């Protein structure tokens, strides 16, 4: 039979010795309601009577021991939805909340939008008169969402960041960081005298560097609408004015992606990282392009592992020149104690 802790007979603290367990009852540990520590303790708490595992009976709002049936807590508040759903479509229909806020949208996703389809709630096409009315409402809705010049500029910049990030395969957390940098630049009035595209490209490049997602400046330039020089100037401007802390890019961050593009085995990747580590110890990476160093290390590792790829192929993947690889790979081989031709 299910028993409740409240119905258990127990002695008062004055009748029991300090630290001893009262007969016929239990001692409870003090908890701070609503604290994360208390919640984590409840997940791993044992039954105070038999030491069994506690389970949550969500339908009754109780915490019950699965072995002896003791109800440890009752009338608990369930913060989840009061409805049930059996598939994602039904969950979407029943849900009364929207998507979480995001910095990648100029309004953080808080505003609403009118659907582009000219259909009513039953899927029937609208008559011409109502279709014209909906077109007018859509136009006014767009004007309301970006009524100020600053909002229109931010919307254009965030759209540019999203476009470039999609082209480069940049994950969403990096897009969030880039959007935050763009917002800070706008708040600090750093866009004056500079193009929206240039600042947006620089913000994405800075976000990739800060989040250790290697994307070279040449790769950013390849999908941007401005030149490499303008992006570089805008990037240095953001770093200086926003006091962004940017550590030097580690060439090893590019090795895995380049090896995958060249269809090289895992052993070559490991060897290339070893070559770069040795080159770093010799001071060969200081002041040099990380993409060029990574390309030279991969070419050298391919020679050492009998998985040679042509200098042209490696240079194309890394977007560097063959001359760069030729000038550096011998130094990298020397760093690991290998002399070419021996």
Domain boundary among 195, 210, 242: 242
pLDDT digits (tens, 9 = 90+) for 65-95: 888 888 888 887 767 676 777 887 877 777 7
- Mark whether 266 and 181 lie in a shared domain: no
- The phi, psi pair for 171, rounded to 5°, reads -70, 165
Between CA 213 and CA 265 the distance in angstroms is 22
- In this structure, the answer to whether residues 153 and 237 fall within a common structural domain is yes
Q: Which residues pair with 73 in a beta bridge?
A: 63
Quote the pLDDT of residue 341: 54
For 178-205, write each residue's pLDDT tens digit.
999 999 999 999 998 899 999 999 999 9
**304: in domain:** yes
> Do both 287 and 323 map to the same domain?
yes
Do residues 159 and 221 share a domain? yes
Residue 48: inside a domain, yes or no?
A: yes
Instruction: Please tell me the pTM assigned to this model.
Output: 0.64
Q: Is 209 exposed, middle or buried (0-12, 13-18, 19+ CB in 10 A)?
A: buried
| DSSP codes, 211-280 | TT----HHHHHHHSSS-HHHHHHHHHHHHHHHT---PPPPTHHHHHHHHHHTT--HHHHHHHHHHHHHHH
User: Can you read off the two tokens belonging to residue 289?
Assistant: 């392009």
Whether residue 44 is contained in a domain is answered as yes
End-to-end CA distance of the chain: 83
Average pLDDT over residues 238-248: 90
Q: Are residues 230 and 265 in the same domain?
A: no
Nearest to 214 by CA among 248, 180, 262: 248
| Residue 307, domain extent | 252-335
User: Are 317 and 264 within one domain?
Assistant: yes
Q: Give the total residue count for the chain.
A: 342
Identify whether 203 is part of a domain. yes
What is the number of domains present in the chain?
Answer: 3
> Which CATH number characterizes residue 157's domain?
1.10.472.10
238 shares a domain with 257:
no
Which among 180, 211, 242 is the end of a domain?
A: 242
Question: Which whole number is the average pLDDT over 316-338?
Answer: 89
Residue 16's pLDDT is what? 39
Nearest alpha carbon to residue 206 among 247, 178, 170, 234 = 178
Predicted pLDDT of residue 20 = 41
pLDDT digits (tens, 9 = 90+) for 27-73: 344 344 444 444 444 445 788 888 888 888 767 778 888 888 888 88
Q: Measured between alpha carbons, how far is 56 from 54 in angstroms, rounded to an integer?
A: 7
Q: What is the spatial distance between Cα 298 and Cα 275, in angstroms, rounded to a whole number? A: 9
Considering the domain architecture, whether residues 187 and 229 belong to the same structural domain is answered as yes
Is the same domain home to 184 and 262?
A: no
Please report whether residue 117 resides in a domain: no
């Amino acid at each position: 039979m299910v028993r409740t802790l409240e119905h258990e007979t127990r002695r008062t603290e004055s009748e029991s010795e300090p630290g001893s367990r009262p007969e016929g009852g239990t001692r409870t540990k003090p908890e701070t309601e609503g604290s994360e520590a208390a919640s984590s303790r409840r997940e791993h708490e044992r039954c105070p009577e038999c030491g069994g595992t506690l389970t949550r009976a969500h339908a009754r709002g109780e915490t019950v021991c699965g072995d002896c049936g003791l109800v440890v807590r009752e009338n608990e508040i369930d913060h989840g939805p009061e409805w049930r759903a059996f598939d994602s479509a039904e969950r979407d229909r029943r849900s009364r909340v929207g998507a979480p806020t995001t910095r990648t949208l100029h309004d953080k996703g808080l505003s609403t939008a009118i659907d582009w389809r000219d259909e009513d709630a039953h899927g029937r096409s609208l008559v011409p008169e109502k279709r014209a009315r909906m077109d007018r409402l859509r136009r006014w809705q767009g004007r309301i969402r970006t009524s100020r010049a600053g909002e229109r500029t931010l919307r254009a910049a965030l759209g540019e960041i999203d476009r470039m990030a999609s082209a480069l395969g940049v994950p969403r957390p990096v897009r969030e960081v880039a959007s935050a940098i763009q917002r800070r630049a706008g708040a600090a009035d750093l866009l004056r005298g500079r193009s929206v595209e240039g600042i947006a490209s620089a913000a994405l490049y800075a976000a990739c560097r800060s989040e250790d997602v290697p994307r070279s400046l040449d790769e950013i330039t390849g999908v941007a609408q401005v030149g490499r020089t303008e992006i570089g100037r805008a990037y240095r401007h953001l770093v200086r004015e926003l006091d962004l802390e940017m550590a030097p890019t580690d060439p090893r961050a590019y090795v895995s992606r380049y090896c995958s593009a060249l269809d090289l085995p895992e052993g070559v990747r490991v060897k290339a990282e070893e070559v770069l580590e040795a080159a770093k110890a010799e001071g060969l990476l200081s002041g040099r392009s990380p993409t060029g160093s990574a390309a030279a290390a991969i070419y050298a590792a391919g020679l050492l592992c009998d998985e040679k790829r042509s200098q042209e192929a490696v240079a194309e993947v890394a977007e560097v020149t063959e001359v760069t690889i030729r000038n550096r790979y011998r130094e990298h081989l020397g760093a690991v104690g290998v002399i070419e031709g021996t």
